[in-house]
Amino acid sequence: MRGKLPCLFWFLFLFSIAEYGITTAQVTCAAGNGQCSDQCLYRGGTADRTCGCPCLSELNADSRTCNATIDCGTDIYILADSSINVDPVDCILSSIPGTTQTWTNWASWKQILISILEFFREEEATRNVNVGVQLYSSAFNIPILANYTGMPNLQNGIDTLRGMSQPLCTGISSYVRHLGQAVENNPGFQSWIYRGPYQLRPYNATSRVAIAVNYASDNSLSDASILIWRGHIMKQFDRVIVITRSLITDATLRAANIRIAKLMACGHPTNPCPYVLYVDGLNDLG
């Protein structure tokens, strides 16, 4: 991480924490800002819109105007890569009897994930933030930690991650698909068990941010498929952020990884995208 974790994560928080308390209504944003006094956001079906208010305020009973009364909360859902992508050579060698594996790439990537989760553990303790995290691979969608998945806090999950000696060597994964499936399998995330430090809040009254943390591209989805999945995801979240690597030796894989990340986070594969962050370099805003 080259000592840049604090800068990376403060930048992440600047762009990731949505600043709106949300209430639904059956109006579109197209005409007159959806009759919202402040912010009109999309969430739900084609005819749904939500009005939003800045932090330290909430929507009035008319579901359109804002009243300065309370702080708004934020729910963060982190999907972290622990697939064969992380250490493919050692994953292959692990299937050969008598072969010794070093798991060098997994050890390095695991430390990056732990650093990210440590940051959010501190934020969770001091801010009105709820955090849920899952590891993913091609065959598993494993809830390892925190709040939404039933454990008491992020520290328990961090300890679990520290104890993992190798990634989940089951196949190549797509974080786009995994995040989309998480949304489809848990509509509104109402089925999640919550044991965090704050009261469980209705998903439609809370700012929500999805963060995908991935090691490499290795993605077979077409641009059209990625945009379809992104559409499903944006029905549940106000922002999608991708944290990934930029220093990938294979130039083709590097270009593909950046393209997929931008398409997922901002909906366009080549335009500058402030919501793609690199653990080993600067993003499009420097």
What domains are there in the chain, each with its CATH number? 5-16+74-278 (3.40.50.410), 21-67 (2.10.25.10)
Write down the pLDDT at residue 280: 87
Alpha-carbon distance of 52 to 40, in angstroms, equals 6
Write down the pLDDT at residue 130: 74
User: Is residue 65 classed as helix, strand or coil in its secondary structure?
Assistant: coil
Run of H or E residues at 76: strand 74-81
Alpha-carbon distance of 212 to 208, in angstroms, equals 13
* pLDDT tens digit sequence for 187-216: 555 444 443 444 555 555 567 788 999 998
Write down the pLDDT at residue 283: 83
Write down the pLDDT at residue 21: 42
Write down the pLDDT at residue 24: 43
- 239-244/207-213 β-pairing: parallel
Residue found under tokens 């990340």: 261
Q: What average pLDDT does range 93-116 have in this prediction?
A: 92
Write down the pLDDT at residue 183: 72
* pLDDT tens digit sequence for 118-176: 888 877 776 667 777 778 887 665 544 444 444 556 777 788 889 889 998 887 778 89
Residue 119 half-sphere exposure toward CB, CA atoms < 13 A = 17
Write down the pLDDT at residue 55: 56
Write down the pLDDT at residue 282: 83
Q: What average pLDDT does range 61-70 have in this prediction?
A: 76
What length does the chain have?
286
Q: Return the closest-CA partner of residue 209 out of 11, 13, 25.
A: 13
